[in-house]
Protein backbone atom coordinates (compact mmCIF):
# COMPACT_ATOMS: atom_id res chain seq x y z
CA UNK A 1 0.00 0.00 0.00
CA UNK A 2 1.24 3.49 -0.85
CA UNK A 3 0.05 7.06 -0.35
CA UNK A 4 -0.78 8.38 -3.84
CA UNK A 5 -1.65 11.94 -4.86
CA UNK A 6 -3.78 12.48 -7.99
CA UNK A 7 -3.83 16.00 -9.50
CA UNK A 8 -6.24 16.72 -12.37
CA UNK A 9 -8.75 19.48 -13.01
CA UNK A 10 -11.24 16.95 -14.43
CA UNK A 11 -13.46 15.46 -11.72
CA UNK A 12 -14.22 12.32 -13.74
CA UNK A 13 -10.50 11.53 -14.13
CA UNK A 14 -9.85 12.07 -10.41
CA UNK A 15 -12.73 9.80 -9.36
CA UNK A 16 -11.78 7.10 -11.86
CA UNK A 17 -8.15 7.01 -10.77
CA UNK A 18 -9.08 7.06 -7.10
CA UNK A 19 -11.40 4.08 -7.58
CA UNK A 20 -8.83 2.11 -9.64
CA UNK A 21 -5.93 2.68 -7.23
CA UNK A 22 -8.00 2.14 -4.09
CA UNK A 23 -8.86 -1.32 -5.40
CA UNK A 24 -5.09 -1.95 -5.42
CA UNK A 25 -5.02 -1.07 -1.67
CA UNK A 26 -3.41 2.34 -2.19
CA UNK A 27 -4.42 5.35 -0.12
CA UNK A 28 -5.47 8.00 -2.64
CA UNK A 29 -5.92 11.76 -2.17
CA UNK A 30 -7.15 13.88 -5.09
CA UNK A 31 -6.65 17.57 -5.90
CA UNK A 32 -8.26 19.73 -8.57
CA UNK A 33 -5.89 22.64 -7.84
CA UNK A 34 -2.18 21.93 -8.48
CA UNK A 35 -1.10 24.87 -6.28
CA UNK A 36 -2.96 23.39 -3.32
CA UNK A 37 -1.52 19.94 -4.06
CA UNK A 38 2.01 21.34 -4.29
CA UNK A 39 2.15 22.24 -0.60
CA UNK A 40 0.97 18.77 0.47
CA UNK A 41 3.46 17.00 -1.79
CA UNK A 42 6.32 19.25 -0.64
CA UNK A 43 5.59 18.22 2.94
CA UNK A 44 6.32 14.60 2.11
CA UNK A 45 2.77 13.34 2.62
CA UNK A 46 2.85 11.15 -0.52
CA UNK A 47 4.96 8.40 -2.03
CA UNK A 48 3.81 8.97 -5.61
CA UNK A 49 2.16 11.75 -7.64
CA UNK A 50 0.01 11.35 -10.77
CA UNK A 51 -0.37 14.78 -12.36
CA UNK A 52 -2.11 16.08 -15.46
CA UNK A 53 0.01 18.15 -17.82
CA UNK A 54 -2.50 20.87 -18.83
CA UNK A 55 -4.19 22.51 -15.80
CA UNK A 56 -5.27 26.03 -14.75
CA UNK A 57 -2.89 28.09 -12.56
CA UNK A 58 0.04 25.65 -12.96
CA UNK A 59 0.88 23.02 -15.56
CA UNK A 60 2.52 19.66 -14.84
CA UNK A 61 5.97 20.75 -16.01
CA UNK A 62 5.94 23.74 -13.63
CA UNK A 63 4.77 21.45 -10.82
CA UNK A 64 7.78 19.17 -11.28
CA UNK A 65 10.11 22.20 -11.39
CA UNK A 66 8.67 23.50 -8.10
CA UNK A 67 9.03 20.10 -6.42
CA UNK A 68 12.61 19.56 -7.52
CA UNK A 69 13.47 23.14 -6.58
CA UNK A 70 12.26 22.39 -3.05
CA UNK A 71 14.44 19.23 -2.95
CA UNK A 72 11.33 17.06 -2.94
CA UNK A 73 12.14 13.77 -4.69
CA UNK A 74 8.63 12.27 -4.66
CA UNK A 75 8.25 10.38 -7.97
CA UNK A 76 5.82 11.87 -10.53
CA UNK A 77 3.93 10.19 -13.38
CA UNK A 78 2.77 12.72 -15.95
CA UNK A 79 -0.66 12.29 -17.63
CA UNK A 80 -1.86 14.17 -20.70
CA UNK A 81 -4.12 14.03 -23.72
CA UNK A 82 -1.63 16.23 -25.57
CA UNK A 83 1.37 13.95 -25.73
CA UNK A 84 4.31 15.13 -27.75
CA UNK A 85 7.92 14.00 -27.81
CA UNK A 86 9.07 17.42 -26.60
CA UNK A 87 6.86 17.48 -23.51
CA UNK A 88 7.71 13.87 -22.69
CA UNK A 89 11.44 14.54 -22.88
CA UNK A 90 11.14 17.72 -20.80
CA UNK A 91 9.10 15.98 -18.11
CA UNK A 92 11.56 13.08 -17.89
CA UNK A 93 14.56 15.44 -17.78
CA UNK A 94 12.99 17.28 -14.86
CA UNK A 95 12.56 14.04 -12.96
CA UNK A 96 9.24 12.47 -13.96
CA UNK A 97 9.56 8.70 -13.66
CA UNK A 98 7.01 7.93 -16.38
CA UNK A 99 4.61 9.43 -18.91
CA UNK A 100 1.17 8.14 -19.94
CA UNK A 101 -1.24 9.38 -22.59
CA UNK A 102 -4.97 9.75 -22.04
CA UNK A 103 -7.23 7.88 -22.41
CA UNK A 104 -5.64 4.88 -20.68
CA UNK A 105 -6.84 1.51 -19.41
CA UNK A 106 -7.07 0.83 -15.68
CA UNK A 107 -4.63 -2.06 -16.02
CA UNK A 108 -2.05 0.17 -17.74
CA UNK A 109 -2.08 2.79 -14.98
CA UNK A 110 -1.83 0.20 -12.17
CA UNK A 111 1.21 -1.35 -13.86
CA UNK A 112 2.90 2.04 -14.20
CA UNK A 113 2.10 2.97 -10.61
CA UNK A 114 3.61 -0.28 -9.30
CA UNK A 115 6.68 0.22 -11.49
CA UNK A 116 7.15 3.78 -10.21
CA UNK A 117 6.77 2.71 -6.58
CA UNK A 118 9.28 -0.08 -7.05
CA UNK A 119 11.71 2.41 -8.59
CA UNK A 120 11.26 4.68 -5.56
CA UNK A 121 11.90 1.79 -3.16
CA UNK A 122 15.12 0.88 -4.95
CA UNK A 123 16.26 4.50 -4.89
CA UNK A 124 15.53 4.73 -1.16
CA UNK A 125 17.46 1.53 -0.50
CA UNK A 126 20.43 2.81 -2.50
CA UNK A 127 20.40 6.05 -0.55
CA UNK A 128 20.36 4.09 2.69
CA UNK A 129 23.28 1.95 1.55
CA UNK A 130 25.31 5.02 0.60
CA UNK A 131 24.59 6.54 4.00
CA UNK A 132 25.72 3.42 5.81
CA UNK A 133 28.78 2.56 3.71
CA UNK A 134 31.23 3.60 6.45
CA UNK A 135 29.40 1.43 8.97
CA UNK A 136 29.46 -1.79 6.96
CA UNK A 137 31.94 -4.37 8.25
CA UNK A 138 29.69 -7.34 7.78
CA UNK A 139 32.53 -9.58 6.64
CA UNK A 140 33.97 -9.62 10.15
CA UNK A 141 32.87 -12.55 12.27
CA UNK A 142 32.48 -13.21 15.96
CA UNK A 143 35.58 -15.12 17.07
CA UNK A 144 36.04 -17.32 20.10
CA UNK A 145 34.98 -20.80 21.24
CA UNK A 146 34.82 -20.09 24.96
CA UNK A 147 31.66 -21.10 26.78
CA UNK A 148 30.58 -17.46 27.20
CA UNK A 149 30.92 -16.75 23.47
CA UNK A 150 29.08 -19.92 22.49
CA UNK A 151 26.25 -18.89 24.82
CA UNK A 152 26.24 -15.43 23.22
CA UNK A 153 25.97 -16.99 19.75
CA UNK A 154 23.00 -19.05 20.90
CA UNK A 155 21.25 -15.96 22.26
CA UNK A 156 21.93 -14.11 19.00
CA UNK A 157 20.39 -16.97 17.01
CA UNK A 158 17.31 -17.03 19.24
CA UNK A 159 16.86 -13.24 19.06
CA UNK A 160 17.60 -12.70 15.37
CA UNK A 161 14.17 -13.26 13.83
CA UNK A 162 12.25 -11.32 16.45
CA UNK A 163 11.17 -7.74 15.77
CA UNK A 164 11.59 -6.84 19.45
CA UNK A 165 14.15 -4.22 20.45
CA UNK A 166 17.54 -5.45 21.65
CA UNK A 167 19.79 -3.83 24.26
CA UNK A 168 23.43 -4.90 23.93
CA UNK A 169 25.55 -4.06 26.96
CA UNK A 170 29.26 -4.46 27.54
CA UNK A 171 32.44 -2.54 28.15
CA UNK A 172 34.00 -0.37 25.45
CA UNK A 173 35.88 -2.40 22.87
CA UNK A 174 34.13 -5.72 23.45
CA UNK A 175 32.47 -5.84 20.02
CA UNK A 176 28.89 -4.73 20.67
CA UNK A 177 28.48 -3.40 17.12
CA UNK A 178 29.74 -6.71 15.73
CA UNK A 179 27.03 -8.50 17.72
CA UNK A 180 24.42 -6.08 16.37
CA UNK A 181 25.52 -6.79 12.80
CA UNK A 182 25.36 -10.52 13.45
CA UNK A 183 21.78 -10.06 14.69
CA UNK A 184 20.83 -8.16 11.55
CA UNK A 185 22.65 -10.60 9.27
CA UNK A 186 20.76 -13.59 10.69
CA UNK A 187 17.37 -11.87 10.67
CA UNK A 188 14.67 -11.79 7.99
CA UNK A 189 15.71 -8.14 7.47
CA UNK A 190 19.18 -9.12 6.27
CA UNK A 191 18.45 -7.95 2.71
CA UNK A 192 17.25 -4.57 3.98
CA UNK A 193 19.49 -1.69 5.12
CA UNK A 194 21.17 -1.55 8.52
CA UNK A 195 22.14 1.94 9.63
CA UNK A 196 24.24 2.96 12.61
CA UNK A 197 24.20 6.20 14.61
CA UNK A 198 26.52 7.09 17.48
CA UNK A 199 24.43 8.95 20.05
CA UNK A 200 27.51 10.23 21.88
CA UNK A 201 29.03 11.91 18.82
CA UNK A 202 26.32 14.52 18.19
CA UNK A 203 24.59 17.29 20.13
CA UNK A 204 20.88 16.97 20.90
CA UNK A 205 19.65 19.06 17.95
CA UNK A 206 21.93 17.38 15.42
CA UNK A 207 21.06 13.95 16.78
CA UNK A 208 17.34 14.66 16.39
CA UNK A 209 17.91 15.71 12.78
CA UNK A 210 19.97 12.58 12.09
CA UNK A 211 17.27 10.36 13.57
CA UNK A 212 14.14 11.94 12.11
CA UNK A 213 15.38 14.18 9.27
CA UNK A 214 14.61 17.85 8.74
CA UNK A 215 12.84 20.16 6.32
CA UNK A 216 14.61 22.81 4.32
CA UNK A 217 14.97 25.93 6.47
CA UNK A 218 14.15 24.10 9.72
CA UNK A 219 17.26 25.62 11.34
CA UNK A 220 20.39 27.53 10.41
CA UNK A 221 22.34 25.51 7.87
CA UNK A 222 19.37 23.34 6.82
CA UNK A 223 19.64 24.34 3.17
CA UNK A 224 17.93 21.21 1.86
CA UNK A 225 15.49 18.53 2.89
CA UNK A 226 17.16 15.60 4.62
CA UNK A 227 15.72 12.20 5.45
CA UNK A 228 16.57 10.78 8.85
CA UNK A 229 17.89 7.35 9.77
CA UNK A 230 14.44 6.02 10.69
CA UNK A 231 13.12 6.93 7.26
CA UNK A 232 16.15 5.51 5.45
CA UNK A 233 16.15 2.29 7.48
CA UNK A 234 12.44 1.59 6.85
CA UNK A 235 11.99 -2.18 6.74
CA UNK A 236 15.51 -2.74 8.11
CA UNK A 237 17.50 -2.22 11.29
CA UNK A 238 18.72 0.89 13.11
CA UNK A 239 21.64 0.58 15.53
CA UNK A 240 21.76 3.31 18.20
CA UNK A 241 25.28 3.18 19.63
CA UNK A 242 25.92 4.51 23.16
CA UNK A 243 22.22 5.12 23.79
CA UNK A 244 22.92 6.27 27.36
CA UNK A 245 24.34 9.56 25.99
CA UNK A 246 21.03 10.62 24.41
CA UNK A 247 19.50 13.74 26.01
CA UNK A 248 16.29 13.26 28.02
CA UNK A 249 14.01 15.34 25.71
CA UNK A 250 15.09 13.29 22.71
CA UNK A 251 14.56 10.07 24.67
CA UNK A 252 10.86 10.93 24.87
CA UNK A 253 10.67 11.29 21.08
CA UNK A 254 12.51 8.02 20.57
CA UNK A 255 10.06 6.28 22.92
CA UNK A 256 7.17 7.44 20.76
CA UNK A 257 8.74 6.00 17.62
CA UNK A 258 9.35 2.68 19.35
CA UNK A 259 5.78 2.50 20.62
CA UNK A 260 3.83 3.98 17.71
CA UNK A 261 6.20 3.81 14.74
CA UNK A 262 5.51 7.51 14.08
CA UNK A 263 7.70 10.63 13.95
CA UNK A 264 7.97 14.10 12.39
CA UNK A 265 10.94 15.62 10.65
CA UNK A 266 12.42 18.67 12.37
CA UNK A 267 10.49 21.68 11.08
CA UNK A 268 7.51 19.63 9.88
CA UNK A 269 4.09 18.88 11.36
CA UNK A 270 3.44 15.95 9.01
CA UNK A 271 3.49 12.59 10.76
CA UNK A 272 5.44 9.84 9.04
CA UNK A 273 5.70 6.15 9.75
CA UNK A 274 8.64 3.77 9.65
CA UNK A 275 8.85 0.05 10.38
CA UNK A 276 12.32 -0.37 11.84
CA UNK A 277 13.90 -2.81 14.27
CA UNK A 278 15.97 -0.91 16.83
CA UNK A 279 19.12 -2.29 18.43
CA UNK A 280 20.78 -0.16 21.12
CA UNK A 281 24.20 -0.52 22.71
CA UNK A 282 25.59 0.86 25.96
CA UNK A 283 28.79 0.56 27.98
CA UNK A 284 27.01 1.81 31.09
CA UNK A 285 24.53 0.24 33.49
CA UNK A 286 21.28 1.77 32.27
CA UNK A 287 19.60 0.60 35.45
CA UNK A 288 21.96 2.86 37.43
CA UNK A 289 21.38 5.65 34.88
CA UNK A 290 17.62 5.36 35.48
CA UNK A 291 18.16 5.58 39.24
CA UNK A 292 20.21 8.75 38.72
CA UNK A 293 17.38 10.26 36.59
CA UNK A 294 19.67 10.43 33.57
CA UNK A 295 17.71 7.91 31.53
CA UNK A 296 13.96 7.42 31.22
CA UNK A 297 12.70 4.29 32.95
CA UNK A 298 9.98 3.72 30.34
CA UNK A 299 12.50 3.92 27.49
CA UNK A 300 14.84 1.56 29.34
CA UNK A 301 12.10 -1.06 29.69
CA UNK A 302 11.10 -0.57 26.04
CA UNK A 303 14.68 -1.11 24.86
CA UNK A 304 15.55 -3.95 27.22
CA UNK A 305 13.10 -6.45 25.73
CA UNK A 306 15.89 -8.76 24.52
CA UNK A 307 19.04 -8.04 26.57
CA UNK A 308 22.44 -9.27 25.39
CA UNK A 309 25.69 -8.87 27.30
CA UNK A 310 29.04 -9.03 25.53
CA UNK A 311 31.69 -10.37 27.92
CA UNK A 312 34.92 -8.49 28.60
CA UNK A 313 38.06 -10.01 27.08
CA UNK A 314 39.50 -10.79 30.55
CA UNK A 315 36.44 -13.00 31.12
CA UNK A 316 37.32 -15.16 28.10
CA UNK A 317 41.10 -15.30 28.10
CA UNK A 318 40.97 -18.71 26.38
CA UNK A 319 39.83 -16.89 23.21
CA UNK A 320 42.93 -14.68 23.05
CA UNK A 321 45.11 -17.09 21.00
CA UNK A 322 42.38 -17.42 18.34
CA UNK A 323 41.66 -13.69 18.33
CA UNK A 324 45.30 -12.67 18.03
CA UNK A 325 45.88 -15.25 15.29
CA UNK A 326 42.90 -13.81 13.41
CA UNK A 327 44.24 -10.25 13.65
CA UNK A 328 47.78 -11.23 12.62
CA UNK A 329 46.47 -13.30 9.71
CA UNK A 330 44.38 -10.38 8.49
CA UNK A 331 47.37 -8.02 8.76
CA UNK A 332 49.57 -10.44 6.82
CA UNK A 333 47.00 -10.76 4.01
CA UNK A 334 46.51 -7.00 3.87
CA UNK A 335 50.24 -6.30 3.63
CA UNK A 336 51.09 -9.25 1.39
CA UNK A 337 53.60 -10.73 3.83
CA UNK A 338 54.27 -14.18 5.24
CA UNK A 339 52.33 -15.48 8.22
CA UNK A 340 53.00 -13.94 11.64
CA UNK A 341 53.74 -16.48 14.39
CA UNK A 342 53.55 -16.05 18.15
CA UNK A 343 55.88 -17.61 20.71
CA UNK A 344 54.07 -19.54 23.49
CA UNK A 345 55.57 -17.21 26.12
CA UNK A 346 54.08 -14.21 24.30
CA UNK A 347 50.64 -15.84 24.20
CA UNK A 348 50.91 -16.54 27.93
CA UNK A 349 51.58 -12.85 28.59
CA UNK A 350 48.58 -11.86 26.47
CA UNK A 351 46.35 -14.21 28.44
CA UNK A 352 47.55 -12.86 31.78
CA UNK A 353 46.88 -9.22 30.91
CA UNK A 354 43.67 -7.57 32.18
CA UNK A 355 42.77 -5.88 28.81
CA UNK A 356 40.92 -2.75 29.99
CA UNK A 357 40.42 -1.83 26.31
CA UNK A 358 39.15 -5.35 25.50
CA UNK A 359 39.25 -6.73 21.93
CA UNK A 360 39.93 -3.30 20.47
CA UNK A 361 43.07 -3.00 22.58
CA UNK A 362 44.20 -6.48 21.51
CA UNK A 363 43.71 -5.55 17.86
CA UNK A 364 45.77 -2.38 18.33
CA UNK A 365 48.54 -4.39 20.02
CA UNK A 366 48.59 -6.87 17.15
CA UNK A 367 48.93 -4.02 14.64
CA UNK A 368 51.84 -2.57 16.61
CA UNK A 369 53.56 -5.93 17.01
CA UNK A 370 53.20 -6.79 13.32
CA UNK A 371 54.91 -3.53 12.36
CA UNK A 372 57.90 -4.35 14.57
CA UNK A 373 58.61 -7.97 13.60
CA UNK A 374 60.13 -8.13 10.11
CA UNK A 375 60.87 -11.82 10.66
CA UNK A 376 57.20 -12.48 11.49
CA UNK A 377 57.80 -13.86 15.01
CA UNK A 378 56.18 -12.16 18.01
CA UNK A 379 58.20 -12.76 21.20
CA UNK A 380 57.47 -12.15 24.86
CA UNK A 381 60.29 -9.59 25.09
CA UNK A 382 58.63 -7.50 22.37
CA UNK A 383 55.24 -7.19 24.05
CA UNK A 384 56.22 -7.44 27.73
CA UNK A 385 56.39 -3.69 28.31
CA UNK A 386 53.09 -3.12 26.49
CA UNK A 387 51.09 -5.40 28.77
CA UNK A 388 52.72 -4.47 32.07
CA UNK A 389 50.22 -1.67 32.77
CA UNK A 390 47.13 -3.27 34.20
CA UNK A 391 48.74 -6.64 34.87
CA UNK A 392 48.83 -5.91 38.62
CA UNK A 393 47.52 -8.61 40.93
CA UNK A 394 44.15 -7.92 42.50
CA UNK A 395 45.57 -6.97 45.91
CA UNK A 396 47.19 -3.87 44.39
CA UNK A 397 43.72 -2.39 43.95
CA UNK A 398 42.18 -0.90 47.08
CA UNK A 399 38.72 0.09 48.33
CA UNK A 400 36.85 -2.01 45.79
CA UNK A 401 33.11 -1.97 46.56
CA UNK A 402 31.15 -5.20 46.51
CA UNK A 403 29.00 -5.32 43.39
CA UNK A 404 31.16 -2.66 41.68
CA UNK A 405 34.60 -4.32 41.78
CA UNK A 406 35.20 -4.16 38.03
CA UNK A 407 33.98 -0.57 37.81
CA UNK A 408 36.22 0.55 40.70
CA UNK A 409 39.24 -1.40 39.41
CA UNK A 410 38.80 0.16 35.97
CA UNK A 411 38.71 3.63 37.49
CA UNK A 412 41.86 3.04 39.54
CA UNK A 413 43.66 1.62 36.51
CA UNK A 414 42.73 4.59 34.33
CA UNK A 415 43.67 7.11 37.02
CA UNK A 416 46.99 5.33 37.60
CA UNK A 417 47.79 5.30 33.88
CA UNK A 418 46.74 8.95 33.54
CA UNK A 419 49.17 9.84 36.32
CA UNK A 420 51.94 7.89 34.66
CA UNK A 421 51.56 10.02 31.52
CA UNK A 422 51.25 13.31 33.41
CA UNK A 423 47.58 13.76 32.59
CA UNK A 424 48.12 13.45 28.82
CA UNK A 425 44.84 11.99 27.58
CA UNK A 426 45.96 10.88 24.12
CA UNK A 427 48.94 8.92 25.51
CA UNK A 428 46.80 7.44 28.27
CA UNK A 429 44.10 6.32 25.85
CA UNK A 430 46.68 4.79 23.51
CA UNK A 431 48.32 2.87 26.36
CA UNK A 432 44.96 1.54 27.54
CA UNK A 433 43.79 0.71 24.02
CA UNK A 434 40.67 2.86 24.20
CA UNK A 435 39.54 5.95 22.33
CA UNK A 436 40.27 9.46 23.63
CA UNK A 437 36.51 10.17 23.49
CA UNK A 438 35.80 7.09 25.64
CA UNK A 439 38.42 8.20 28.15
CA UNK A 440 36.94 11.71 28.24
CA UNK A 441 33.44 10.34 28.82
CA UNK A 442 34.63 8.26 31.76
CA UNK A 443 36.49 11.18 33.35
CA UNK A 444 33.45 13.42 32.88
CA UNK A 445 31.21 10.82 34.51
CA UNK A 446 33.48 10.54 37.54
CA UNK A 447 33.69 14.33 37.92
CA UNK A 448 29.90 14.58 37.86
CA UNK A 449 29.56 11.77 40.41
CA UNK A 450 32.10 13.48 42.68
CA UNK A 451 30.30 16.82 42.40
CA UNK A 452 26.96 15.17 43.21
CA UNK A 453 28.48 13.48 46.26
CA UNK A 454 29.85 16.84 47.47
CA UNK A 455 26.40 18.42 47.13
CA UNK A 456 24.82 15.61 49.13
CA UNK A 457 27.49 15.93 51.81
CA UNK A 458 27.01 19.68 51.98
CA UNK A 459 23.27 19.29 52.40
CA UNK A 460 23.75 16.67 55.08
CA UNK A 461 26.02 19.03 57.00
CA UNK A 462 23.44 21.88 57.02
The model carries a pTM of: 0.61
Helix, strand or coil for residue 149?
A: helix
Q: What is the pLDDT of residue 365?
A: 92
Residues 6+ apart with CB under 8 A from 259: 302
Question: Are 177 and 301 found together in one domain?
Answer: yes
Say whether pLDDT at 164 is over 70: yes
Q: Residue 19 sits in a domain of what CATH number?
A: 3.40.50.2300
Question: Are 265 and 185 found together in one domain?
Answer: yes
Task: Give the DSSP letter of residue 403.
Answer: T
Say whether pLDDT at 133 is over 50: no
Q: Are 50 and 79 in contact (CB under 8 A)?
A: yes
- 129 part of a folded domain: no
Question: Are 335 and 298 found together in one domain?
Answer: no
| C-alpha distance from residue 296 to each of 264, 285, 291 (Å) | 21, 13, 9
Q: Are 189 and 172 in contact (CB under 8 A)?
A: no
Question: Are 269 and 327 found together in one domain?
Answer: no
Which domain-ending residue is among 121, 149, 168?
A: 121
Distance CA 312, CA 142 (A): 14
Question: Are 172 and 245 found together in one domain?
Answer: yes
Question: Are 326 and 305 found together in one domain?
Answer: no
Question: Are 305 and 321 found together in one domain?
Answer: no
Selected residue with higher pLDDT from 167 and 101: 167
Question: Are 272 and 369 found together in one domain?
Answer: no
Helix (H) or strand (E) holding 385: none
Q: What is the pLDDT of residue 171?
A: 92
Which has the minimum average pLDDT: 108-112, 236-240, 315-319, 386-390?
Answer: 386-390
Distance CA 173, CA 147 (A): 20
* Residue in 290, 294, 373 with CA at minimum distance from that of residue 328: 373
Q: Residue 251 sits in a domain of what CATH number?
A: 3.40.50.300
Distance CA 138, CA 280 (A): 18
The residue-averaged pLDDT of 333-352 equals 88
- 265 part of a folded domain: yes
Domain span including residue 378: 312-391
Question: Are 85 and 179 found together in one domain?
Answer: no
Say whether pLDDT at 439 is over 70: yes
- 194 part of a folded domain: yes
Residues 6+ apart with CB under 8 A from 155: 308
**What confidence tens digit (pLDDT) does each residue in 401-410 have?**
655 666 777 7
Question: Are 145 and 283 found together in one domain?
Answer: yes
- 50 part of a folded domain: yes
β-sheet with 3-7: strand ranges across: 27-31, 3-7, 48-52, 76-80, 98-101
278 pairs with which residues across the strands?
A: 238
Which domain-ending residue is among 266, 283, 309?
A: 309
- 372 part of a folded domain: yes
Average pLDDT value over all residues in the chain: 84
The residue-averaged pLDDT of 83-101 equals 75
- 279 part of a folded domain: yes
- 127 part of a folded domain: no
Question: Are 205 and 230 found together in one domain?
Answer: yes
Question: Are 288 and 423 found together in one domain?
Answer: no
136 pLDDT tier (thresholds 50, 70, 90): very low
| Total tally of structural domains belonging to the chain | 4
Omega cis (within 30) before 103: yes
Max Cα distance, the chain (Å): 89
Which domain-ending residue is among 391, 419, 437?
A: 391
Say whether pLDDT at 195 is over 80: yes
Task: Give the DSSP letter of residue 400.
Answer: P
**What confidence tens digit (pLDDT) does each residue in 97-113 have?**
888 888 888 888 898 89
Q: Residue 353 sits in a domain of what CATH number?
A: 1.10.8.60
Amino acid sequence: MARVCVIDDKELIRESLAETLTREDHQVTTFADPVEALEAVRGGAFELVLSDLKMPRMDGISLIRELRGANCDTPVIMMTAFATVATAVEALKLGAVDYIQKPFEAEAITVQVERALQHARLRRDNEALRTSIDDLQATRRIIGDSETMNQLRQRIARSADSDATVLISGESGTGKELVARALHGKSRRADRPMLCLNCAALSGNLLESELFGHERGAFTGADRLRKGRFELADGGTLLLDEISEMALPLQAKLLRVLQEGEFERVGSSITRRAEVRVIATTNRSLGDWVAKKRFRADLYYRLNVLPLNVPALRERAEDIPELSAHFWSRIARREGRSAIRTKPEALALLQQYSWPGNVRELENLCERAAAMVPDGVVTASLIESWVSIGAQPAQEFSNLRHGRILEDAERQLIERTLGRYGGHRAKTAKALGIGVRTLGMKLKQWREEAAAAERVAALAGV
